[in-house]
Amino acid sequence: MKTNLIYVFADQWRYQAIGYTKKDQVLTPNMDRFAEESLCFENAYSTFPLCTPHRGSLMTGKYPYSVGLWTNCKIGLEEKIMLKPQEICIGNVLQDAGYRTAYIGKWHLDSSEQNFVRHPVSGAVHWDAYTPPGERRQGFEYWLSYGACDDHLNPHYWADSPEQIRPGRWSAEYETDKALEYLEGRKAGDAPFALFLSYNPPHLPYELVPDCYYEKFRDLQIEWRGNVPEEKRTPEMETIARQYFSAIYGIDKQFGRILSYLKEKEMEENTLVVLSSDHGEMLGSHGLMSKNIWYEESIHIPLLMRQKNRIRAGRNGVMFASPDHMPTLLELLGLRVPDTCEGRSHAASVLGETEESPQHMFLCSYPGSPESVSAFAEQGMNHKAHGWRGIKTPEYTYVVTNGYMPEEKQEEYFYDDKNDPWQLHPRRVERDCKDDIIVECRKLLKWYLGMLGDSFLWEKDRE
């Protein structure tokens, strides 16, 4: 019997915000029990800590630059950002292998409809999009999704027509209802299934969380991480932290419903369950909010895999990058990995076998706001040669940043994450530095840039 797949991932959910890591003040009893039964990856990171780029890597097994997803699918850019239907995606491979495929929740991989039509029939506005049946669904048959909209308490979805579905419920609860409905609709003897369930919370707006979850945290005394500066430790920020933790508590409740169903239906042994996210959330660390920066709170993500009596529970320290998800999942399902995949399969490591893989990965970000892209264009400069690139290992983070505007100077940083886990004391590297570890970092970064054909400007002016 072929193994089923359920892949659950939440938006903007950081590694520190799951109970078993004992980092944040979250309550995640269902996820913690799942962790006890799962292989938990301690070094899973978002290669490009932004929604569309990570999701593109997840679906294609390729790096964001390779797949043309150098920023979010959005309006206001001359280039229309989208996951092109010509790409070979995990849904295509699963469908071709006889799997019934389903996608529920946030997609954010199709071009915003208002890039082409001021008033789309679907009613999609701003970065949102209705993806009609066909090749742009990348092999997913059952579809209940939307492009990008953050109205968590009053969400909308599209199925197979441009008519919006508005359930009037917190998005994660409704999406779990539909996921369970999809699973319950299967009949004995049906083909194996692959279900991707994409929750938008705990993505901002942070306040859009049901009171029933917020009540658990209303009076919580926030214990700030050691890299949150005093000026960020305000009553307003305390409220945001409580709201963030509340949304994760709500997600835990919904994930628990999925786990209960699998146990009740005796599907735990023939279903590979994966729990993850697309990137993290700074939540005041280093004085910052949101993501798209190289710090741990932004790039470090949860990644847990369970298939009872096949995958041994425990901790795994392999470096797991965004493009590695697709090849790993396919190999675990016994399917051929397409040659187009640039990521590395860690299936051998998942199954307890020896894996010889480098303990480093590539990190990146590119200027993506319309204002930034226009500023580079006005000076005849390639915006994709800027932003920042880096190398991550279990011990350190190395970054070269060219900034997001033309006038910014280049900076080079080295963080000793093992001895400085809060990343408060980076080493500012001079261009003429010849230290062995810096030389090796530069060599690795240049190798990744060459492999990807990345146009990153190495010799930009410094102070």
**For every residue of 156-213, which 3-state class applies, written as one string?**
CEECCCCCCECCCCCHHHHHHHHHHHHHHCCCCCCCCEEEEEEECCCCCCCCCCCHHH
Characterize the bridge pairing of strands 314-316 and 100-106: unpaired
Q: Which pLDDT does position 463 carry in this prediction?
A: 79
Residue 327, pLDDT > 90, answer yes
Structure token digits, residue 259: 């786990």
Residue 134, pLDDT > 80, answer yes
Tell me what the pLDDT averaged over the chain comes to: 97
Alpha-carbon dihedral angle through residues 47, 386, 424, 290, given to the nearest 10 degrees: -60
**CA–CA dist 383, 376 (Å, integer):** 6
Q: Across residues 167-192, what is the average pLDDT?
A: 94
Percent composition of the chain: helix, strand, coil (DSSP 3-state, to 5): 30, 15, 55
Amino acid letter, 320: F
Asked if residue 12 lies in contact with residue 280, where contact means CB atoms within 8 angstroms, the answer is yes
Residue in the structure block whose two tokens are 């093992």: 418
Identify the band that residue 28 occupies on the pLDDT scale cut at 50, 70 and 90: very high
Residue 188, pLDDT > 80, answer no
Residue 1, pLDDT > 90, answer no
Q: Please report how the helices 235-264 and 171-184 are oriented relative to each other, as an axis angle in degrees rounded to 10.
A: 10
**CA–CA dist 270, 194 (Å, integer):** 12
Q: Which pLDDT does position 410 carry in this prediction?
A: 97
